[in-house]
Structure 1
Amino acid sequence: MEHETVAIVVGGGPAPGINGVISSVTIEAINHGKRVIGIVGGFSSLFEGQENNIMPLTIDLVSRIHTTGGSILRTSRDTPENAQEKFKVLLATLKELGIKYLVTIGGEGTLFMAHWIEKEARGSINVVHTPKTIDNDIPLPGGNSTFGYQTARHVGVGLVNNIMEDARTMGRWYFISTMGRHTGHLALGIGKASGATLTIIPEEFPERKVSIKKVTDTITGSIIKRLAQGRDHGVVIIAEGIAEKFDPDELNQCENVERDEISGKIRLSDIQLGRILRALIREDLRSMGIKSNIVSMNIGYELRAADPIPFDIEYTRNLGYGAIRYLLKGGTGAMIAVYEGHIISVPFVEMVDAKGLIRIRKVDINSEVYLAAREYMIRLEEEDFEDSLLNTYAKIANLTPQAFKKRFEYLIMTPSL
């Protein structure tokens, strides 16, 4: 009797724990008499109809990979220009390979693909998704994190802790940009856990477009406030997604901005956000007569393929096990999640908005969790514009109190949308 085939495909950028899902899916499926193959190179292989680009998976091959970073199946995040036409090739390739069950591993883009495949397969392929992204922007039940996030935050905190000590030792500021296209979960998680001086995320600016000046003024205000406290150093964590809110024309005045040839989106990873902000703020501080020593850097690629911490190792074992158990019970069209100690399935239809796009979980800036993070940041607040503090800050900036207030007080006001 021919064994039914389970296929695993990884989409999007790397995240710690991918191999853990591959391992647990393979072991559980084989233990239930299924054949397991991995699609090498992600969806790009399927879009190109590459039927030979597969890897037979065995228990011996995957039994110890769950503690390692990266992906033995590799991954890709390329979407072909003619996606509608190429999708027919993808679906035909899956059917030609005799795939009965498909496990997808990825973020919101991969979840969209899984939903699309499941709809178009019309029952011929059962599809289940496992949520992977260090951005932590998939809305999971109970606010639980996506796999990979906890490891990325853990590694990021270690890096930032070292940078904070260097900042103190050398008397300098570091501007560190982190990954997070749509949201600030990773930046906030790293900043809050490391005790960074200031963390800036897209969600704190509810307006559709944000001027670069508002961001630079926020950081400049933090530097002045630190100087008033007798500290000439600090670390600012900046979520890269803030650049998507900048006016491209304004951004182009600082640095040439490239857009992806296929998606048309700004290539956030190519924008040297820290460098742009450093140049503007150094000039701003210089105009006030304030000497500054600022270093810009990015962290992100260092986090994506790190070996998973025990949290993500256990988490991905649960997800892989749950994925196969769900499929073998006849399930399809759902994402696997862990909620209150139980492995559950969340239907794809609950993950999409009215336009058919995958919903994104943003940082709730009205939550106590975010307010707790804000409480430990050093940034200008309402009380800083009272006479005693205002005079101190104005003196450091070589401005009159009235001029300082005019320059910075708008930062604490909620914009009208």
Structure 2
Amino acid sequence: MPFPLYLLALALFAMGTSEFMLAGLLPDIASGLGVTVGTAGTLTSAYAIGMIVGAPLMAALARNWPGRASLLAFVLVFLAAHAVGAATSSFPVLFATRVIAALANAGFLAVALTTAATLVPADRKGRALAVLLSGTTVATIAGVPAGSVFGTLLGWRATFWAVAALCLPAAIGILTGIPARRGQKDAAEGPTLRAELAQLKSPRLLLVMLLGALVNAATFASFTFLAPVVTGTAGLGELWVSVVLVLFGAGSFIGVTVAGRLSDQRPGLVLAVGGPLLLIGWPALAMLADRPVALLVLVFVQGALSFALGSTLITRILYEAAGAPAMAGSYATAALNVGAAAGPLIAATTLSTAVGNLGPLWASGLLVAVALLVAFPLRAVVEAGRSSEVLR
């Protein structure tokens, strides 16, 4: 794989760490800024909304810029947002920086997905995306736990400064390693913005986007509420929460890596095998969560299956949106973040039911079941192989 892909993955590592790190920092932020934990929790919602809105908006604004320039601009805005957030003593200012950071993150991911696909032959998009998305999965393994430790030892502001610092080598790498050619489209060639937006009328594209949103909703429904399962249902100490999150992240890294080698030529295999296993896994985790060994094993497996399916569906979105070279990445980003925002909201409604802490796990199983029910009658579209798409 081309070296520039790893530079893009480094930037996504910093952004992924920022996106997920707040789970362990909210009490410290709340006490430091004089707000309630519930109010501090709105920072997570602000980021999710910024990601959903930012993906198509930022991609549209940057579509006529050189790919390197837009990627660099997004990284620098992301860096600045974290520097301001680390220095402020005002919660509204911090809230605003989270929205701005999310917009930059969404814009970067949308452009990076498109850029990654242009750095490799047309039939190797899946492997390229596996390298790119490894930045996010490694963030769940190393970045988020490290951020939590940083916050515990040095305060939440130190974690924000650390994320800002990570952006510096990423920015230098993008400036020196990404080709200067246009990563989006040549202004004199390629489809217009209206033509690219018209791709959203394609039932095939909308179907794969819907499936991506459902699978990601299932993933984040449970990932967001793993802590009470670990400390409550399984009866483990608080330190085990970090262990479980690392296991989930390690599984996600394995899933993305394996799927990346199959999603171009054998997407049907990933979906046909991984989908039913993922469906079985969430209820199994709910029923065995009180057994620590089973919990640890199943969390790893579910992380692998969730991200294997999710990354495969991202690849399918890019193939189906081949007629929208500048906006395709934003369609994938928006679909995944709709799921990331909706999943926890759906899961939260189950916490007050009879199943309690296990509700999110059952909700994840239901969301995967819906995805499979939608996909089954139209599986020929979802399983479309590499050759038919490349020849379009």
Q: In which range does the TM-score fall when normalised by the shorter chain?
A: under 0.3
Report 1 or 2 for greater relative contact order, CA contacts < 8 Å, sequence distance ≥ 6.
2
Q: Which has the larger radius of gyration?
A: 1
Q: TM-score, normalised by structure 2?
A: 0.27
